[in-house]
Structure 1
Amino acid sequence: MLNKVFLIGRLTRDPEIRFLPSGTQVTTFTLAVKRAYKTKDSSEWKEETYFFDIEAFGFLAERVGKQLNKGTQILVEGSLRQDKWETPSGEKRTKIKVFAEKINMISPATKTEKSTVSSEEPTIDIDTEDFSSDDDVPF
């Protein structure tokens, strides 16, 4: 049986990092994927957005947690997994998630999409009055 998924989209939030009791890192995030189509009535283009929950484990989870943030456009290659659980009231629930096997960054988040990380270089004031030439340097 084949269970393979390829998705291109943007992170809707910064990745969440947690650890399993075994110490394995798990990183989760949501990917927004757009679909464009033409309506039957007119030749007008419409757009829909789908949201997929993505999980990465181990080394991939570490890399994702450090390198990606909200708004980053990525390609996810993985497989579908179904979580099953029962609520305290006895209702059975299921949820489909994408288990990431490979993740490639396509483009970083734009400045307006990035979380509060400053991209400006810090300025350092250096007083150069003490050394008029290289010969004056004390070493």
Structure 2
Amino acid sequence: MSLNIVNLVGRVGRDPEVKYFESGTVLCTLTLAVNRRSSKRDEADWFNLKIWGKTAEIAANYVRKGSLIGVHGSLEIETWKDRNTGVDRSSPIIKVDRLDLLGSKRDNESSSTGNYQGGNDEF
């Protein structure tokens, strides 16, 4: 049995880049910063995301730098030859199957000014 599932929650590092292909397919790429849970300092791991199709259009319309999002997908290793040196290169990419819009940085800042009611945090 093999398993390749990635679930991440973090903040978007830059505005999404969107490409529209002649076939009608849409590709959205962006970066995601995910804080390390075990870190005492604010250290983040950065992930490159690729989102295709209707989910890519949603990301292009609603996601901005600083947005808090959750993604579900799989890890892929992209490989290519460097144009200048001819050396083989590779980079890990998260291919996103599901995107959850969890709010923006501004939303979280305004909610921390007193709108949080507290109580039982049952999820």
RMSD: 1.7
Q: Does structure 1 residue 102 correspond to structure 2 residue 102?
A: no
Question: Per-residue CA shift, 1:36-85, capped at 9, x if unaligned?
Answer: 326xxxxxx33321110001001000111001111110110000111110
Aligned length: 106
Rg (Cα) greater in structure: 1
CA distance in 1, matches of 2:46, 2:22: 28
Higher helix share: 2
CA distance in 2, matches of 1:29, 1:61: 10
Among all aligned residue pairs of Structure 1 and Structure 2, give the percentage whose two residues are the same amino acid: 33
Ranges in structure 2 where 5+ consecutive residues have no aligned partner: 110-123
Ranges in structure 1 where 5+ consecutive residues have no aligned partner: 39-44, 114-139
* TM-score normalised per structure 1: 0.71
Runs of 4 or more consecutive aligned structure 1 residues displaced over 4 Å after TM superposition: none
CA distance in 1, matches of 2:6, 2:90: 19
CA distance in 2, matches of 1:101, 1:34: 21
How far has the Cα of 1:109 moved from its partner? 2.7
Q: How does 1:74-93 map to 2 (within 5 A)?
A: 74-88=69-83, 89-93=85-89
Instruction: Determine helix, strand or coil for the equivalent of 2:19.
Output: strand
